[in-house]
Chain A
Amino acid sequence: MASSGTPNAVAIWGGVCERVNSMPQVRFIRSNTFRWASAVAGVFAAFILLLFGFIYLRIDDYLVVRTDRMIGNQVTVLAALPPERRINAIEDHLAEDSRGVQFAGLFDSDGHRLAGNLARLPELKLDGTVQNAYVRRMDQEDRGAQLVRAAGQRLPTGNVLVMGRNVDEAREISHVVGQALALGLLPAFCLCLLAGAWLSVRAQRRVEEVNRRVQRIIAGNLQERLPHRDVDEPFSRLAGIVNGMLDEMEAMINALAGVGNDIAHDLRTPLTRARLALERGRTNAQSLEQLQQVVDKAIAGIDQALAIITALLRLAEIENGRRSAAFGSVALDEMLREVCDVYEPIAEDKDITLRVAISHKRIVRADRDLLFEAVANLVDNAIKFTPKGGKVDIGLLSFDDQTIVRVTDTGPGISEEERDAVLRRFYRSDKIRNTPGVGLGLSLVAAIVKLHGFHLVIHPGQGGRVDIVCPDRPGE
């Protein structure tokens, strides 16, 4: 039976393959999903066959045991009967066997048949134990010798009683069960392969869709995104993550392009001025004095351009975090006083009151030079944009779990719309377009603050207010 299942399975396999080959999309057979599905189907089939073999063996075993018990009983019963009733009993027993599976025979001591359906005495031990024996039945002479379970017993009269039973029906039952299983296995196997094929085609389509879109992204279409369904499924989640990455990259590339333009513009302006000055000076200068003036102008223009490059390189250096080695303990209160000390005369010159208000002492882990630069930049900006007679305050505030360095001024402040823009490189508010400066100050501050793990908060509205928020870290 086990062997009858395998050719069946092969036939099914071949059938599916043929059908698959006739489909327009053959590639999915090579896909992993389909291979997995096939493997699963194969394992499933093998398991079913094993199961069937097991069931077969169990049934066979059971039937043999049952038959043996029956034969044993019959021999005991018939042996116990008086000899005159024994022949009748044997005939009755055989008459009841409509299926023709019972064997019985009574032979005299010479081996001549007295009753039953056995042609002659089979070869078997005559001790009443049930055993395998080859017997010939008188009414089924054409079938020849059949292997049956049988038991022989020599009776006190000298006669020999043989009882037997054909156990071929166990094989018949197995055959029926096997057919049923094969019938069940065939659709299951087909279903397995079909599911595999369907999943494979589906996955293939999605991957191809992704490929197409990625190709478009590579070609420069940065707005393209991967297909994404709103379900919690690994593929969708992956697509979601990749899309998030693309969003970030698109923003960065756009920002970079913007920065490129800004750099070009900001560098071109002073360089153009320098070039014009030199060109005009070369033709127009009448005296050494005039030429020197021109050269001074040109140098100033080039210095401005160099200052931009220096600031950019510094920004890159800080953003790459290459300076984290210089971290140490910094007393914020002392540092703020120093900043105030440095900027006091500048504020005074502009008739601005610069004050520092410190509520408590606080030590943070920081790169002192960089943090000083950040605060100095904020104060520098505040003084620059505050009109004459205004006020600039530096404060160190303490809250439950954070310390804030706050720089406030009475200048125009930063509007809500401008808030993100001011952190962009080279951004200059239209209001202050003609104020000197490189336009990288706040970007630098933001980069420094980020390097320290602090936050920069710019409060919009009238009057500038910028906070550097230092979260308290336990164990510091």
Chain B
Amino acid sequence: MLSDKRDGRTANIGAAVGAKWMTKVLLIEDDGETAEEISAELADRGFEVAWAADGVDGLNKARALRPDAMIVDRLLPGMDGLAVIETLRKDQFSTPVLVLSALGAVDDRVRGLRMGGDDYLTKPFAIVELVARIEALLRRPVESRETTLRVGQLELDLLKRTAKRGNRQIDLLPREFRLLEYMMRRSDQLLTRAMLLEEVWNYKFVPATNLVDVHMGRLRHKVDGAGEAPMIHNVRGAGFILRNAS
């Protein structure tokens, strides 16, 4: 977790240099303290954050600022968070949205967000989870016709269902292949356990056992052979990142 934070700060410095291209995030959240924490964390990670405390203000800010991503609380005074999004969508406003919802309020409309390319997170959440999901939304993998995925020396042939690192052939079980494919499409991105469970295993709940760690351990064992520089990194308390080893 800490190492990751430091990485974030480095990124922040980089972003601050070219302030013009800073990613803009609009946060619509009525609780001031939560908003402050989220803003501070996102700012640390190099985002430019605008905050609106209610739906109407949020709508105005969204139209004026044209943010790259939005974080919207479901329960807002005056206007439902989903109504804000629907209004924006009608205006051909395609900014990806992360909805924050109380667990009890996760209904089909909220679940539908994931199908539409948006995402939701139930409160309470870990801040790393929020950041990871915002980054995932901002860096949605582009659909390519490429049949081979490459990250550094690692190659995944989607047709032949084979993987190799350099010249070394890696034997993968189907479930390991699926996991690696997902990670390679999102290399250099922090993938939280919850994201992996949802996307790779289609799990809609958090299992009692550390399923992800066990599966990841197996995969890592195969991908990072003896003497090779590690590519799969465990970010403590947060999740995993696949990075080019060099």
Which positions in A face B, CB cutoff 8 Å? Answer: 292, 296, 299, 303, 306-307, 310, 313-314, 316-317, 322, 325, 341-343, 345-346, 349, 369, 372-373, 376-377, 380-381, 383-384, 436-438, 441
By Cβ-Cβ distance, the 4 closest A-B pairs, closest first, are: A369-B204, A313-B103, A345-B214, A346-B214
Check B215 against A345 for contact (C-beta < 8 Å). yes
Check A441 against B208 for contact (C-beta < 8 Å). yes
- B203: chain A residues at CB < 8 Å are 372
- B108: chain A residues at CB < 8 Å are 325
Check B237 against A299 for contact (C-beta < 8 Å). yes
**Contact check: which of B103, B107, B218 meets A310 at CB < 8 Å?**
B103
Q: Does residue B78 face the partner (Cβ distance < 8 Å to A)? A: no
Check A437 against B214 for contact (C-beta < 8 Å). no
Check A346 against B211 for contact (C-beta < 8 Å). yes
User: What are 11 A-to-B residue pairs whose CB atoms are below 8 Å?
Assistant: A296-B237, A313-B104, A342-B175, A342-B211, A343-B209, A345-B214, A346-B209, A369-B202, A369-B205, A373-B204, A373-B205
- B218: chain A residues at CB < 8 Å are 345
Check A341 against B237 for contact (C-beta < 8 Å). no
Known contacts A325-B108, A345-B218, A349-B214; decide if A314 and B208 are in contact (CB<8 Å): no
What is the CA–CA distance of A293 and B63 in the complex, to the nearest angstrom?
44
Check B206 against A310 for contact (C-beta < 8 Å). yes
- B104: chain A residues at CB < 8 Å are 313, 316-317
What is the CA–CA distance of A438 and B209 in the complex, to the nearest angstrom?
11
What is the CA–CA distance of A369 and B122 in the complex, to the nearest angstrom?
18
What is the CA–CA distance of A351 and B104 in the complex, to the nearest angstrom?
39
Q: Does residue B93 face the partner (Cβ distance < 8 Å to A)? A: no
Which positions in B face A, CB cutoff 8 Å? Answer: 1-2, 103-104, 107-108, 122, 124, 126, 175, 201-209, 211, 214-215, 217-218, 237
Check B207 against A376 for contact (C-beta < 8 Å). yes
What is the CA–CA distance of A376 and B205 in the complex, to the nearest angstrom?
10
Q: Chain B's nearest CB lies how many Å from the CB of A382?
A: 11
Known contacts A299-B237, A341-B175, A342-B175; decide if A384 and B103 are in contact (CB<8 Å): no
Known contacts A314-B103, A342-B175; decide if A292 and B207 are in contact (CB<8 Å): no
Interface-central residue, B108, B126, B214, by most chain A CB under 10 Å: B214
What is the CA–CA distance of A384 and B208 in the complex, to the nearest angstrom?
10
Q: Chain B's nearest CB lies how many Å from the CB of A343?
A: 8
What is the CA–CA distance of A436 and B209 in the complex, to the nearest angstrom?
9
**Contact check: which of A369, A372, A383 meets B209 at CB < 8 Å?**
A383
The closest CB in chain A to the CB of B197 belongs to A342
**Contact check: which of B206, B209, B237 meets A384 at CB < 8 Å?**
B209
How many A-B pairs fall under 8 Å by CB? 54
Known contacts A342-B201, A345-B218; decide if A307 and B206 are in contact (CB<8 Å): yes
- A441: chain B residues at CB < 8 Å are 208
What is the CA–CA distance of A373 and B108 in the complex, to the nearest angstrom?
18
What is the CA–CA distance of A336 and B230 in the complex, to the nearest angstrom?
34
- B206: chain A residues at CB < 8 Å are 307, 310
- A383: chain B residues at CB < 8 Å are 209
What is the CA–CA distance of A383 and B215 in the complex, to the nearest angstrom?
16
What is the CA–CA distance of A313 and B206 in the complex, to the nearest angstrom?
13
- A325: chain B residues at CB < 8 Å are 108
What is the CA–CA distance of A453 and B122 in the complex, to the nearest angstrom?
29
What is the CA–CA distance of A240 and B214 in the complex, to the nearest angstrom?
56
What is the CA–CA distance of A377 and B209 in the complex, to the nearest angstrom?
9
Interface-central residue, A345, A349, A373, A380, by most chain B CB under 10 Å: A345
The closest CB in chain A to the CB of B210 belongs to A346
- B215: chain A residues at CB < 8 Å are 342, 345
What is the CA–CA distance of A349 and B211 in the complex, to the nearest angstrom?
11
What is the CA–CA distance of A341 and B205 in the complex, to the nearest angstrom?
17
Check B211 against A377 for contact (C-beta < 8 Å). no
Q: Chain A's nearest CB lies how many Å from the CB of B208?
A: 5
The closest CB in chain A to the CB of B122 belongs to A310
What is the CA–CA distance of A82 and B118 in the complex, to the nearest angstrom?
133
- A345: chain B residues at CB < 8 Å are 214-215, 217-218
**Contact check: which of B124, B202, B237 meets A306 at CB < 8 Å?**
B124
Q: Chain A's nearest CB lies how many Å from the CB of B192?
A: 13
Q: Chain A's nearest CB lies how many Å from the CB of B132?
A: 16
What is the CA–CA distance of A341 and B174 in the complex, to the nearest angstrom?
10
Check A292 against B2 for contact (C-beta < 8 Å). yes
Q: Chain A's nearest CB lies how many Å from the CB of B144?
A: 28
The closest CB in chain A to the CB of B102 belongs to A313
Check B103 against A437 for contact (C-beta < 8 Å). no
What is the CA–CA distance of A173 and B13 in the complex, to the nearest angstrom?
126
What is the CA–CA distance of A316 and B209 in the complex, to the nearest angstrom?
22
- A373: chain B residues at CB < 8 Å are 204-205
- B214: chain A residues at CB < 8 Å are 345-346, 349
Q: Chain A's nearest CB lies how many Å from the CB of B179?
A: 11
What is the CA–CA distance of A380 and B103 in the complex, to the nearest angstrom?
24
Q: Chain B's nearest CB lies how many Å from the CB of A313?
A: 5
Q: Chain B's nearest CB lies how many Å from the CB of A286?
A: 18
What is the CA–CA distance of A433 and B179 in the complex, to the nearest angstrom?
34
- A349: chain B residues at CB < 8 Å are 214
What is the CA–CA distance of A303 and B205 in the complex, to the nearest angstrom?
15
Known contacts A345-B214, A349-B214; decide if A314 and B205 are in contact (CB<8 Å): yes
Q: Chain A's nearest CB lies how many Å from the CB of B113?
A: 15
- B209: chain A residues at CB < 8 Å are 343, 346, 380, 383-384
What is the CA–CA distance of A316 and B122 in the complex, to the nearest angstrom?
16
